[in-house]
């Protein structure tokens, strides 16, 4: 799927800042700027390097200034950028087209000169490659001038006032880090120049409005009248000899291979299978792989990994990657819990999640279903047993099995489901008690253990406990007057709020409800919570519904799970819809038509990606992370179901 944009997509400078591209390097580093080449967030960068995978990220090259000089002394700016006080750059007026399929490509046209710009980023290297094709069809000689602006600061930080950024022959140095430069252009040192940027897409979320970067050299290349020239530039932290063209070609080849391995037939499925790989990264502290939750903000979290992994890795045929990630988490299981966060350095992981461990068992099952790798199941089976034992006897954060067989979780200020936001001493979405999706995961885990165990007595035990859980669940969660499930069993008003969490009680491999109840839930969820871009976290009629996600962090957090539309539960909804309609061809066609609308989301925000969230009232613009792993993963599972599976 090739995304094309033209001048009508940047009628104004502001319009040109709406969408961005994303390239990643498999270490946690990335390249991301807007389709007009600007940085509209402090996290945007031509090169965001990662020195210790996946979270020690440094904004190395923040942005590029691009100019065309004529022999008569005219200076034509091609780059676009907003600043604190100085006049904005409006190079978008010369930008004819932007496209993205496997690499971002810009095409400029100015006074008879055509310029094609392309970027590549290799895997497992902190490297970015630039290639400019300059066709001078004018009657005058011109000179192309590229001025990179550097930060050399941790992601999210700003340039230090006394920070030195030193240019030496073939390298830029600052803060103990070195960035090597290779180019066929002429390098010219310049007096240090500092810019102060205005970050339009940070301001709207209450983040800092301004940031700084400095330049100390330029790269120049002349193009005589009637001639065509190529400028290649490579910036890298680890010296190599690959040309910019080679790096760009390898970038494309890697993505084409991902597409072929995944085997999707639809253009959207193919694009998402390539986008999925952007979340997979090495993790130096464990020596394995991990899944980053979202760009540009999030790190790798256990819950997000276990939700995203089935789609990111299994649906796309990346089975060895899936196994490496599962093995990493298995090695870090403690007290029946899976880590929710791997901190850097020598600190211990954090285990504040009730769902990650149960979803780990689900991931092992889905991996087995796809590969029939029983040897790996036997390898991690003791870990799964410890999880089941821990949840029954009780473990941290109030996680334990009640006498009715259902799982309780949460205590004090510890929020341990995915609706985990906390604002000071306030829990905007308190879910202490028996959350609906956790008990759906619990039943699913019991049935999986019944399937995997090789001891008849143990199998009977899991089967009997699963039956008890099913009976208790049906009795305590079903609301006949609302034709749906409670969100929680806690004895509070929160119990009967209509939320999207109930959809996972239908979409897991093993479920508890009779078909008629499942059909009613699907229809209720569709009526109360469904949008084409995601599921509302709370129905609009609820007094606690927040229609907009905006403003300072405290205001955003109060809305985060109180009506905000999340994309990833849409995957479970579609899987449930297909299930209650017996995976019929008509049902698949219905889902395909609805997914066509969702494809519009791939063109907005981060091109080729799916975001974290939208406003609850009118979901028109992506918010939060512009690329979210579990959004992509869960929707890939839907594409897999309608394209590759036969029922």
Helix (H, G, I), strand (E, B) or coil at 72: coil
Write down the pLDDT at residue 572. 98
Mean pLDDT across 325-339: 95
Tens digits of per-residue pLDDT, 454-478? 999 999 999 999 999 999 999 999 9
Contacts 24+ apart (CB under 8 A), 69-77: 69/142, 69/143, 69/144, 69/145, 70/111, 70/140, 70/141, 70/142, 71/140, 71/141, 71/142, 72/140, 76/110, 76/111
Given CATH 2.70.98, say whether it is the number of domain 1-251.
Answer: yes
Asked if residue 57 lies in contact with residue 126, where contact means CB atoms within 8 angstroms, the answer is: no
Asked if residue 512 lies in contact with residue 470, where contact means CB atoms within 8 angstroms, the answer is: yes
Pairing of strands 478-479, 484-485: antiparallel
Write down the pLDDT at residue 286. 85
Write down the pLDDT at residue 545. 97
- Please state at what angle helix 629-643 crosses helix 585-598, rounded to 10 degrees: 150
Put residue 81 in one of left, alpha, beta given phi > 0 → left and psi -120 to 50 → alpha: beta
In angstroms, the Cα distances linking 422 to 161, 415, 551, 628 are 34, 8, 16, 21
Write down the pLDDT at residue 345. 58
Provide the CA 110 distance to its chain's centre, in angstroms: 36
Q: Has residue 26 got a pLDDT over 70?
A: yes
Which CATH code, of 3.40.20.10, 3.40.50.970, 3.40.50.1110, 1.50.10.10, is assigned to 262-641?
1.50.10.10
Closest by Cα among 170, 178, 171, 175 to 159 = 175
Strand partners, 110: 113
Residue that the structure tokens 């992509």 belong to: 632
Residues in the chain: 647
Mean pLDDT across 595-613: 96
Write down the pLDDT at residue 389. 98
Strand partners, 234: 129, 182
Tens digits of per-residue pLDDT, 395-427? 999 999 999 999 999 999 999 999 999 998 899
Q: Has residue 343 got a pLDDT over 80?
A: no
C-alpha 86/C-alpha 309 separation (Å) is 46
Write down the pLDDT at residue 90. 98
C-alpha 113/C-alpha 220 separation (Å) is 16
Q: What is the mean pLDDT of the chain?
A: 96
pLDDT higher at 286 or 624? 624
HSE toward the beta carbon, residue 565, CA cutoff 13 A: 25
Asked if residue 626 lies in contact with residue 20, where contact means CB atoms within 8 angstroms, the answer is: yes
Write down the pLDDT at residue 342. 80
Strand partners, 479: 484
Provide the CA 606 distance to its chain's centre, in angstroms: 10
Q: Has residue 346 got a pLDDT over 70?
A: no
- Please state at what angle helix 436-452 crosses helix 456-477, rounded to 10 degrees: 160
Mean pLDDT across 152-161: 96
Mean pLDDT across 179-187: 98
For the chain, what are the domain ranges? 1-251, 262-641
How confident is residue 438, by pLDDT bands cut at 50, 70 and 90? very high
Mean pLDDT across 345-361: 89
Asked if residue 358 lies in contact with residue 444, where contact means CB atoms within 8 angstroms, the answer is: yes
Residues contacting residue 501 through CB under 8 Å, at least 6 positions apart:
417, 419, 435, 436, 437, 487
Q: Has residue 245 got a pLDDT over 90?
A: yes
Write down the pLDDT at residue 300. 92
Helix (H, G, I), strand (E, B) or coil at 83: strand
pTM for the predicted model, two decimal places? 0.97
Q: Has residue 479 got a pLDDT over 90?
A: yes
Phi, psi angle pair for 76, to nearest 5°: -110, 115
Mean pLDDT across 36-52: 98
Put residue 289 in one of left, alpha, beta given phi > 0 → left and psi -120 to 50 → alpha: beta
Tens digits of per-residue pLDDT, 509-538? 999 999 999 999 999 999 999 999 999 999
Q: What is the DSSP letter of 347?
A: P
In angstroms, the Cα distances linking 2 to 279, 593, 603, 604 are 20, 20, 10, 14
C-alpha 134/C-alpha 93 separation (Å) is 18
Q: What is the DSSP letter of 313?
A: I
Mean pLDDT across 9-17: 97
C-alpha 434/C-alpha 440 separation (Å) is 10
Asked if residue 79 lies in contact with residue 37, where contact means CB atoms within 8 angstroms, the answer is: yes
Mean pLDDT across 274-281: 98
Closest by Cα among 248, 282, 274, 291 to 127 = 248
Q: Has residue 433 got a pLDDT over 80?
A: yes
Burial 32-48 (b: 16+ CB within 10 A, else e): bbbbbbbbbbbbbbbbb
Tens digits of per-residue pLDDT, 100-143? 999 999 999 999 999 999 999 999 999 999 999 999 999 999 99
Write down the pLDDT at residue 644. 82
Asked if residue 280 lies in contact with residue 320, where contact means CB atoms within 8 angstroms, the answer is: no
For residue 154, the tally of other CB atoms under 10 A from its CB is: 13
Write down the pLDDT at residue 646. 56
C-alpha 296/C-alpha 314 separation (Å) is 24
Write down the pLDDT at residue 579. 98
Q: Has residue 27 got a pLDDT over 60?
A: yes
Mean pLDDT across 27-39: 98
Helix (H) or strand (E) holding 360: helix 355-371
Q: What is the DSSP letter of 20?
A: B
Write down the pLDDT at residue 347. 73
């Amino acid at each position: 799927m090739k995304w094309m944009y033209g001048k009508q997509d940047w009628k104004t400078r502001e319009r040109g800042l709406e969408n961005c591209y994303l390239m990643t390097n498999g270490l946690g580093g990335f390249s991301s700027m807007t389709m007009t080449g600007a940085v509209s967030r402090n996290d945007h960068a031509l090169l965001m390097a990662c020195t210790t995978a996946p979270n020690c990220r440094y904004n190395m090259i923040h942005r590029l200034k691009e100019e065309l000089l004529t022999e008569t002394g005219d200076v034509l700016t091609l780059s676009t950028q907003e600043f604190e006080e100085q006049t904005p750059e409006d190079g978008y007026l010369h930008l004819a087209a932007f496209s993205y399929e496997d690499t971002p490509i810009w095409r400029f046209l100015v006074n008879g000169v055509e310029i094609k710009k392309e970027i590549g980023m290799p895997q497992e290297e902190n490297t970015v490659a630039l290639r400019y094709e300059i066709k001078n069809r004018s009657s005058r000689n011109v000179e192309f001038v590229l001025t990179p602006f550097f930060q050399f600061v941790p992601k999210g930080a700003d340039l230090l006032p006394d920070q030195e950024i030193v240019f030496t022959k073939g390298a830029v140095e600052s803060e103990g880090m070195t960035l090597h430069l290779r180019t066929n252009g002429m390098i010219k040192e310049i007096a240090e120049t500092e810019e102060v940027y205005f970050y339009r897409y940070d301001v709207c979320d209450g983040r800092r409005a301004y940031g700084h970067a400095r330049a100390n050299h330029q790269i120049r290349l002349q193009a005589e009248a009637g001639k065509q020239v190529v400028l290649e530039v490579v910036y890298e932290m680890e010296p190599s000899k690959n040309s910019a063209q080679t790096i760009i070609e390898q970038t494309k080849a890697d993505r084409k291979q991902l597409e072929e391995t995944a085997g999707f037939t639809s253009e959207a499925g193919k694009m998402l299978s390539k986008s999925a790989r952007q979340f997979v990264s090495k993790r130096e502290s464990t020596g394995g792989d991990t899944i980053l939750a979202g760009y540009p903000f999030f790190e790798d979290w256990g819950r997000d990994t276990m939700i995203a992994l089935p789609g990111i890795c299994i649906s796309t045929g990346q089975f060895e990657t899936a196994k490496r990630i599962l093995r990493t988490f298995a090695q870090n299981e403690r007290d029946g819990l899976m880590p929710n966060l791997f901190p850097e350095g020598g600190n211990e992981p954090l285990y504040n999640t009730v769902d990650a461990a149960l979803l780990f068992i689900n991931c092992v099952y889905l991996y087995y279903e796809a590969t029939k790798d029983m040897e790996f199941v036997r390898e991690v089976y003791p870990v799964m047993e410890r999880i089941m034992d821990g949840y029954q006897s009780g473990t941290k954060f109030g996680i334990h099995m009640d006498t009715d067989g259902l799982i309780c979780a949460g205590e004090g200020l510890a929020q341990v489901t995915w609706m985990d936001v906390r604002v000071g001493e306030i829990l905007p979405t308190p879910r202490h008690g028996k959350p609906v999706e956790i008990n759906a995961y619990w039943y699913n885990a019991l049935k999986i253990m019944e399937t995997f165990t090789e001891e008849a007595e143990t199998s009977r035990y899991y089967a009997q406990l699963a039956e008890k859980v099913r009976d208790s669940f049906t009795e305590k969660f079903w609301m006949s007057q609302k034709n749906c499930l409670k969100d929680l069993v806690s004895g509070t008003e929160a119990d009967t709020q209509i939320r999207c969490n109930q959809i996972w009680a239908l979409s897991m491999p093993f479920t508890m409800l009779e078909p008629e109840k499942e059909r009613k839930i699907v229809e209720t969820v569709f009526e109360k919570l469904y949008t084409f871009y995601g599921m509302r976290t709370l129905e609009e009629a609820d007094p606690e519904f927040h229609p907009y996600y905006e403003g300072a962090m405290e205001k955003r957090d109060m809305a985060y799970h109180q009506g905000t539309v999340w994309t990833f539960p849409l995957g479970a909804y579609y899987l449930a819809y297909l299930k209650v309609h017996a995976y019929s061809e008509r049902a698949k066609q219905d889902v395909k038509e609805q997914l066509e609308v969702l494809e519009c989301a791939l063109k907005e925000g981060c091109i080729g990606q799916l975001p974290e969230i939208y406003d609850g009232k009118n979901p028109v613009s992506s918010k939060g992370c512009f690329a979210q792993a579990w959004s992509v993963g869960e929707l890939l599972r839907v594409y897999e179901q309608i394209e590759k599976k036969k029922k």
